[in-house]
Amino acid sequence: MLEISNLHVKLEEEDKQILKGVDLKIGAGEVHAIMGPNGSGKSTLSYVLSGRDGYEVTEGSAELQGADVLDMEPEERAAAGLFLAFQYPVEIPGVGNMTFLRTAVNAQRKARGEEEMSSTEFLKVIRARAKDLKIDAEMLKRPVNVGFSGGEKKRNEILQMAMLEPKMCILDETDSGLDVDAMKLVADGVNALRSEGRSFLVITHYQRLLDHIKPDVVHIMADGRIVKTGGPELALEVENNGYADIMAEVG
Amino acid sequence: MALPQQKTDLTEARIAALALPEVAGWSEPARKDALARLRATGLPHRRDEYWRYTRPESLTSPEAEKAAIFDAEEAPLFDGQAQLKIVFVDGVFDAEASDDLELAGIEIERLETAAQSDIHWARGLYGSLETAGQTPVARPLATLNTAYASDGVLIRATGKADRPVSLIYQHRDETADAMLHHVVRIEEGAALTLLENGPGAARFNTVMEVEVADNAAFHHIRIQGRDHERRAATHAFARLGTESVFKSFTLTVNGVMTRNECVIELTGDDAQAHVAGAAVGDGDFHHDDTVFITHDALNCESRQVFKKVLRNGATGVFQGKILVKADAQKTDGYQISQALLLDDDSQFLAKPELEIYADDVACSHGSTTGAIDETALFYLRSRGVPLAEAQDLMVLSFLAEALEEIDDKEIAADLTTRLAAWLARRRS
Ligand SMILES: Nc1ncnc2c1ncn2[C@@H]1O[C@H](COP(=O)(O)OP(=O)(O)O)[C@@H](O)[C@H]1O
Ligand SMILES: [Mg+2]
């Protein structure tokens, strides 16, 4: 699904190297987790993959189903099936959540040469998906993320993911700032979307989320590199001993 | 003080091209008075402080510059809305296109015909709010209008109108130079919504005097037409009684020269005055909102919310003032003016002013100039919304705060939809 090779990224404006050779291969239907200390480059990786300005790829590649994503506009990456649940979802006053989502769904369909979703169909689908995430009708009408609590914003990200039905979902600290119930909702939302044709990259600090979303593979990122890869037990190790041991081990 | 020769010449040249109506009826004294006042002040000159950011030449020249007729190729705005239509083509009343001027609880007449009757409610009002609005800052284009307006509508509401009165201004002659003067009086406890739509002429000078009596409400929603080359100087003068409401919203899209002046005096306690505007323009677009709100009573609220989206060298101007007199305690005054610049060539010139003589008031004002938020833009694009559409959404997002000032949510939603279509069209 996603294949990242030797990815080097620096800031565009500064001479600061952030990713220093990331290698990552995620197969179809797999769930991978990335853990790592603050500042290790996890968000940067997610932004570079989704096409945010301000970063410069100096070396390496990233392919989504064989297509070079680094060469695409952010909207093209989305239409190609890439989705990023933001660590800090953005507030957009004056644009209704529903309007925003419909614009996005139909823009992607159009880009893929598919027929647009009718408003009745859209309403039906969004109501059902929103209900699963305990997002009420009022929240759908409100401007995008404006006045939403931290948990509501994160659930809204998962709703967008559910509506856009991406193939490669990247979740950047979707669990941070959530209480146990909200995290369960988010995890259930993610689990409901798991399928053979859909892969996940879950960035998190905590093992907690991984109790709910069971990853196939866990990576540890430090200083712009994946320094260790293992099974779910690696997350437990981090939870119990912190990063220090691993860092010492990998030098 | 003698007027500089230059101003006298400018003023005389302009009025030489005009004539007072042959039979002005009761409006004659007000017109003659206005003419005398105009000769004393002179038309605005670019060195006038109040015209620092907007060059008045094209509004004061003897003849209007040509403006190409713009075919909107769309259903007229407010089309689905129940309304009483009054149509002016290049400033000339079009009886055939207009509805009968009959609406329960509302008296509607044309200035041209009503001025012939001996007794008329508008007799003492015509020109009086305009005159009052000349201090502390002169507004000579409004005075010119009081003297020379060819027609206008006189509306007196004694009850609550069941549908809006809708003034539709069409532009057909490329050089049409029109001047209309409306007088509105909302009697105690009455309510009216007035819609205005359309460019009106190549050059359009309007005055609207609005007296809102105690417990009365006046809502005003205006769209100034999408014509690129039109020029307009509009003036609203309002006086508000106790517990009355005045709310005005203007949407301006395109136009090489627009100066919208709004002068409001809150004279009764607990009154509310809201003025808002959303403007979108490109290139030689020049748009000026000049607002002066005077608080002269207890516990009144005023709001000014102005938003402009500027591109390709367009210019936006805001001159907004809140004056709180010594006895206007408990005033709640709010003013915000913001511009979204879509490139580095455009500019926003703002002069927000507060002048407060009462001690127990809450007044705030702010003015900002900014670009589209890159993070939000990326967020939208990451959901698959193409760049241009994402920019449009950000423009709508920016303007929303002004559109939210419209009380009628259906109209606000219609305008937003229309605006979205216009934005989409201008990038195709
Ligand atoms: N736009 C930026 N400007 C300046 N520094 C940045 C920017 N983006 C990332 N960084 C720096 O890059 C490093 C990695 O950040 P980030 O990817 O956010 O880490 P993580 O998500 O793992 O906490 C940090 O040192 C951070 O300060
Ligand atoms: Mg991060």
CATH number (domain holding residue A173) = 3.40.50.300
Question: Residues of B with CB below 8 A from A143's CB?
Answer: 397, 400
C-beta neighbour count of B336 within 10 angstroms: 20
Flag if A94 and B389 touch (Cβ within 8 Å).
no
User: Cβ distance B10 to B43 under 8 Å?
Assistant: yes
In A, residues 50-69, which contact B (CB 8 Å cutoff)? Answer: 50-53
A75 touches chain B (CB under 8 A): yes
Task: Give CA separation, B159 vs B105, B162, B218, B219, B248, in Å.
Answer: 4, 9, 12, 14, 20
Closest by CA position to B353, among listed B328, B332, B335, B368: B335
Tell me which residue has its CA closest to atom 3 in ligand 1. Answer: A11
* φ, ψ of residue B320 in degrees (nearest 5): -130, 135
CA distance B72 to B320: 32
Q: Which residues constitute the domain of residue A14?
A: 2-250
Of the candidates A94, A104, A160, the beta carbon closest to that of B397 is on A94
Of all residues in chain B, the one with the smallest CA distance to A93 is B397
Is residue A248's pLDDT more than 80?
no
Q: Which residue has the higher pLDDT, B350 or A237?
A: B350
Q: How far is A107 from chain B (nearest CA, A)?
A: 6
Cβ–ligand 1 distance for A18 under 6 Å, the answer yes
A66 torsion bin: left (phi>0), alpha (psi -120 to 50), beta (else): left
Rounded to an integer, the average pLDDT of B153-170 is 96
Greatest mean pLDDT among A10-24, A166-180, B20-34, B208-222 lies in B208-222
Bridge partners (DSSP) listed for residue A241 = none
Confidence (pLDDT) at A113: 92
Query: How much helix, strand and coil, in percent to the nearest 5, is found in chain B?
Result: 20, 40, 40
Is residue A59's pLDDT more than 70?
yes
User: Cβ distance B195 to B221 under 8 Å?
Assistant: yes
Confidence (pLDDT) at B428: 67
Tokens in use for A66?
């064989």
A88-118 confidence digits (pLDDT tens): 999 999 999 999 999 999 999 999 899 999 9
Residues 6+ apart with CB under 8 A from B67: B171, B174, B175, B199, B201, B202, B203, B227, B228, B229, B230, B231
CA distance B200 to B210: 20
Q: How many residues does chain A have?
A: 251
Instruction: Mutate one of A103, A114, A170 to test the B interface: name it (highest B CB count within 10 A).
Output: A103
Confidence (pLDDT) at A251: 63
Tell me which residue has its CA closest to atom 4 in ligand 1. Answer: A11
- Ligand 1 center from residue B340 Cα (angstroms): 29
Is residue B1's pLDDT more than 70?
no
Cβ–ligand 1 distance for A11 under 6 Å, the answer yes
Query: What is the number of domains present in chain A?
Result: 1
Least confident of B112-126, B304-318, B347-361: B112-126
A78 touches chain B (CB under 8 A): yes
Percent of chain A with pLDDT over 70: 100
Q: Which residues surround ligand 2, an ion (CB under 5 A)?
A: A 43
Buried/exposed code over A236-250 (b: 16+ C-beta within 10 A; e: otherwise): ebbeeeebeebbeee
B214-230 confidence digits (pLDDT tens): 999 999 999 998 899 99
ipTM of the shown complex: 0.95
**Which atom of ligand 1 is nearest to A41's Cα?**
17
- Residue B239: Cβ-neighbour burial (10 angstroms; 0-12, 13-18, 19+): buried
A28-49 confidence digits (pLDDT tens): 999 999 999 889 999 999 999 9
User: Cβ distance A87 to A173 under 8 Å?
Assistant: yes
Q: Which residue type, as a one-letter code, is found at position B131?
A: T
Tell me which residue has its CA closest to atom 26 in ligand 1. Answer: A39
Element (H, E) at A242: none
Tokens in use for B334?
């709010």
Greatest mean pLDDT among A147-151, A221-225, B24-28, B192-196 lies in B192-196
Confidence (pLDDT) at A132: 81
Query: How much helix, strand and coil, in percent to the nearest 5, is found in chain A?
Result: 40, 30, 30
Pocket test of ligand 1: the residue of A15, A17, A18, A175 to mutate, having most ligand atoms within 8 Å of its CB, is A18
Of the candidates B375, B387, B393, the beta carbon closest to that of A95 is on B393
* Three-class SS of A147-193: CCCHHHHHHHHHHHHHHHCCCEEEEECCCCCCCHHHHHHHHHHHHHH
Of all residues in chain B, the one with the smallest CA distance to A80 is B384
Element (H, E) at B392: helix B387-403
Confidence (pLDDT) at B343: 92
Question: Residues of A with CB below 8 A from B412's CB?
Answer: none
Rounded to an integer, the average pLDDT of B25-41 is 96
CA distance B174 to B61: 16
A233 touches chain B (CB under 8 A): no
Q: How far is B221 from chain A (nearest CA, A)?
A: 19
B242-286 confidence digits (pLDDT tens): 999 999 999 999 999 999 999 999 999 999 999 999 999 999 999
Ligand at minimal distance from the CA of A221 is 1
B65-82 confidence digits (pLDDT tens): 999 998 878 888 888 889
CA distance B83 to B99: 9
- Residue B184: Cβ-neighbour burial (10 angstroms; 0-12, 13-18, 19+): buried
Q: How confident is the model at residue B306 (pLDDT cuts 50, 70, 90)?
A: very high
- Global pTM value: 0.93
Residues of B with CB under 8 A from a CB of A: 373-376, 378-387, 389-390, 393-394, 396-401, 403-404
Flag if A74 and B382 touch (Cβ within 8 Å).
yes
Of all residues in chain B, the one with the smallest CA distance to A165 is B383
Closest by CA position to B212, among listed B261, B247, B167: B247
